[in-house]
Amino acid sequence: MKTRFQPGEQLDHFLIHEVVSTGATAVILRATDLRTQRTVGIKIPRFEVESEPLLAERFHREEEIGKTLHHPGIIKVYPETERSQLYLVTEWFEGAPLRELLQKGPLAKERAVRIAIGVCNILGYLHDHGIVHRDLTPDHILVGAEDVLRLTGFGVASMNGARRITFSSLSQMIGLTTYLSPEELSGKRGDARSDLYAVGVILYEMLTAKLPFRELNPYEARLYPVPPREADPSITPQLQEVIFRALEPEPRHRYGTAHELARGLAHLDEVKIEERPELFGRDTLKERPKGKRALLIALVALVPIILFILLLVVARS
Catalytic residue numbers, as ranges: 135
Whole-number Å distance between alpha carbons of 179 and 194: 9
Whole-number Å distance between alpha carbons of 241 and 222: 18
Closest CA to 242 of 226, 222, 212, 263: 263
Strands 141-144 and 149-151: antiparallel
- Cα dihedral 189→191→195→198 (10° resolution): -50
Query: Would you list the DSSP string of 203-260?
Result: HHHHHHSS-SS----TTS----PPPHHHH-TTS-HHHHHHHHHHT-SSGGGS-SSHHH
Residue 205 contacts residue 105 (beta carbons within 8 Å)? no
